[in-house]
Structure 1
Amino acid sequence: MIRIKAGGVPGGRRRVRRDLRDALRRAARRTVRKGRRRPVRCALALGLPTAWGAVAITYKLVCPLAQQNGLGARVVTSAVFFAVGTGLVLHVRQTLLRELRQARRVAGAAQSVLLRPLPPRIDGLHVAAAQLSADRGATIGGDLYEAVATEHGVRVVMGDVRGHGISAIGTAAAVLGSFREAVHDEPGLDGVLRRLERALSRHLRDRARTDHPSTGAEPGPPVAEEFVTVLLLEIGHDGRVHALNCGHPWPYLLSGTTVDPLSRTDPLPPLGPFPLPCDLTPVGCGHLLPGEGLVLHTDGAEDARDTRGRFFSLENALSEAIRECPLAAPQVVLGTVFTALLRHTDGEPTDDVALLILRNDRSGQPTLGARGTARPATTHPQPTTHL
């Protein structure tokens, strides 16, 4: 994209000023028009209840039948007032539904900006993601995910904020906003993780200051009850995978018809309660070969229970999804897993659930040999925090 500054062409600054002045005038005219329409809308909103009330009062004062005490007169009077009451109730209901639809549209737009849809392909990787909120009326909750193509490779985050629903959206926004900037600035995953930790600490301090404004004192460190589990992945241009895990479930590797955990190392503690250790060495998880996929998920998927208290087996659901077609598109696998999850919970999950599937569709990668030798087992635990 070629950008021309205002001073780069004759009269450029004057043109910018003129365009800005015209835009301000248009905005002012729109505001004036909206202000003029507001009294009209208020009058229309009050017109129908006023008309119904006028009908009821007129009937009671003018109609001779309303002055009689016979059974027939009472039945007619009751029917009239019942019709008036029904009309008022329907009018209020329609008004509330209209306001609710408007609020949902605004909330949906805000939520789509926070947890924006991922493109179907990112740097040769086929991507599919979906999130299910446990709160009705919310499209997102405490789960977060993002995948960004950088000069270091495709960097992915999957996280889970303590709690679910609307109350966890602010924390998820703070973590996602920091991740989207840090992945381009930091050369290593350790720098990205430290940026996320600082962003979370600032958010929790600001929230504590907002929740307790009367104390006047600087809030202390965040309480241990507030935390976020985070999984960071970096998939290099050659398919090599590195990870940093802070209390999050490890993803599953889809290779042919087999489903295995990507790693079995001990994760670090979640972000929030404890500081990160000085040494943050990403775990090497081998290579993601062409045709193989990774399934990132939050604990809501494996903690979901049915009416008899049995946990949902995500590994078995993935195995069934790829059994007949090992190269099924990530969207197909995603739909199959969510269908099985909703069937298991009778359509009422008690926790937020997020799934993100990445499949390597790159061509021209060197052959790395059999799966057993291409990705050595990562049995060394990550560094732990000294308490």
Structure 2
Amino acid sequence: MLRTHSWLRRLAPLALPSLWGAVAVLWKLTCPIAQQEGTAARIATSAVFFTVGTGLALGMRCGPAKELKQVKAVARATQQVLLRPPPPRLDGLSLAAAQLSAARGAAVGGDLYEAVATPHGVRIVIGDVRGHGLPALAAAAAVLGSFREAAHDEPALGDVLRRLERALGRHLRERARDEHPAAGGGDPAHPAAEEFVTVLLLEVRADGAVLALNCGHPWPYRLAGTRAEPVAAGEPLPPLGVLPLPAEPAPHRCTTLLPGEALFLHTDGAEDARDTSGRFFRLQDALDRALLGTPVPPEALIHRVHSALLRHTGGRLTDDVALMVVRNDRSRVPAQPADPELRRTRPSPSPR
């Protein structure tokens, strides 16, 4: 029944042109004027059939155009749910983000980002799924869905990363079973072996300390004043899906954000972008230029780098690109003498 209704909806735009065609054939067979051989009769016949042909063409075009409009609406809704913009402010931090898809006409790609405020600090993830299209989109959804729960549930940042690894593993096994049903319902030996996700997981604490766990992802840039400095925080772990994580992945302090300073996070599509001559996009130079002048809000900084990237590539990207800015807008709080840590280091008063 549902299939019948679907076919009826597809054929509905052709109903009126088909009726015109039937009238034209009937007119040709029965109308006395159509039986004549004169010039006027031929002109009238041509006009009737031209009208019918135009109606058929418009009817056939109307259906696909309507379906394309519906597909675009679904893509926009998917983007809002899956890759929703971060809140402008989150626990004293200002945030902005943007995503560019390499697939023509696509609303979302294989890149992902999210930021949430938790009792353990503001936790941020940015990642890049290998590949494009629906498989990459599904893997990004699996990782993001796991992060949105684990970031609140897990006190340790390493346990959040392990939850992401397990979620990706489940997704890849389920996809492999769907693609290779001959496995008899069991897990394939190497489920989607070529699929992996690079992930950078950050935790920004109340004092500005930034803890990081990096699985094969580009390190961010630290923005202080009018300069962008790359954060060099050691050798990353392998991307998720390539090798198992260590038993206890330990985050390390990669930098400290003072009030007014920011982090610029990105996926490798930004630094790997090339122009028509094959020259790479110099992201650090673009950030230095974007920071010139008065203090630049995160949204404006994203827009400037985004525009510079499109100018460099001529609007032709070969990989998805995600950009994110996190700025510390917290006020510097003076140390309080009542703090237990300060009391232990405060000298005792001299006896009189």
Normalising by structure 2, report the TM-score: 0.88
CA distance in 2, matches of 1:301, 1:285: 22
Give 1:74 shift: 4.0
Name the structure 2 match of 1:171: 139
Q: How much does 1:356 deviate?
A: 0.7
Residue of structure 1 aligned with 2:329, choices 350, 354, 361? 361
Shift of 1:348: 2.0
Please list the CA deviations of residues 229-281 of structure 1 after superposition, one character each: whole Å capped at 9, or x if unmatched: 00000000111011010000000110001111122421111110111123422
Which residue in 1 is equivalent to 2:201? 232
Deviates more, 1:347-356 or 1:248-257: 347-356
- Residue of structure 1 aligned with 2:65, choices 73, 97, 118: 97
In the TM superposition, residue 116 of structure 1 has moved relative to its aligned partner by 1.5
Q: 1:1-387 alignment to 2 at 5 Å?
A: 45-69=13-37, 73-216=41-184, 217-325=186-294, 327-366=295-334
> Could you tell me whether the CA contact under 8 Å between 2:231 and 2:255 is conserved in 1?
no
- Letter aligned with residue 200 of structure 1: L
TM-superposed deviation, 1:290: 0.5
Structure 1 gaps, min length 5:
1-36, 368-387
| Identity across the alignment (%) | 62
Q: In structure 2, what is the Cα distance between the partners aligned to 1:341 and 1:42?
A: 42
Gaps of 5+ in 2: 336-352
CA contact (8 A) 1:222 1:272 kept: no
Which amino acid in the other structure matches residue 205 of structure 1?
Answer: R
CA distance in 1, matches of 2:282, 2:83: 26
Give the letter aligned to residue 103 of structure 1: V
Report SS of the residue matched to 2:183.
coil
Paired with 1:68 and 1:350, the residues of 2 have a C-alpha distance of 63
Cα distance change of structure 1 residues 142 and 41 upon mapping to structure 2, 3 Å threshold = closer
How far apart in 1 are the matches of 2:169 and 2:10? 46
Please give the alpha-carbon distance, in whole angstroms, between the structure 1 residues aligned to 2:8 and 2:113.
45
Would you say the 8 A contact 1:138–1:166 is kept in 2?
A: no
Q: Are the equivalent residues in 1 in contact too, given 2:13–2:62 (CA < 8 A)?
A: no
User: How far, CA to CA, are the matches of 1:70 and 1:351 in structure 2?
Assistant: 64
CA change 1:42–1:159 in 2 (3 A) is closer
Could you tell me how far apart the structure 2 residues matched to 1:73 and 1:305 are? 63
Aligned-residue offset at 1:366:
4.9
- Structure 1 residue 39, shift from structure 2 partner: 11
Contact 1:134 1:349 in 2 (8 A): yes
Look up the equivalent residue of 1:352 and give its one-letter code.
D
> Matches of 2:138 and 2:330 in 1, distance apart?
36
Are the structure 2 counterparts of residues 315 and 366 from structure 1 closer, same or farther at C-alpha, using a change threshold of 3 Å? farther
Matches of 1:323 and 1:38, distance apart in 2 = 57
CA 1:286/1:303 → structure 2, altered by over 3 Å: closer, same or farther? closer
Question: Structure 1, residues 60-119: CA drift from partner, whole Å, max 9, x if none?
Answer: 113334334456644543343222111111122122212221222123212311112211
Deviation (angstroms), 1:324: 1.7
Tell me which moved more, 110-119 or 245-254. Answer: 110-119
For 2:314 and 2:133, locate their aligned partners in 1 and report how far apart those are by CA, in whole Å: 19
Q: Distance in 1 between matches of 2:182 and 2:276?
A: 46
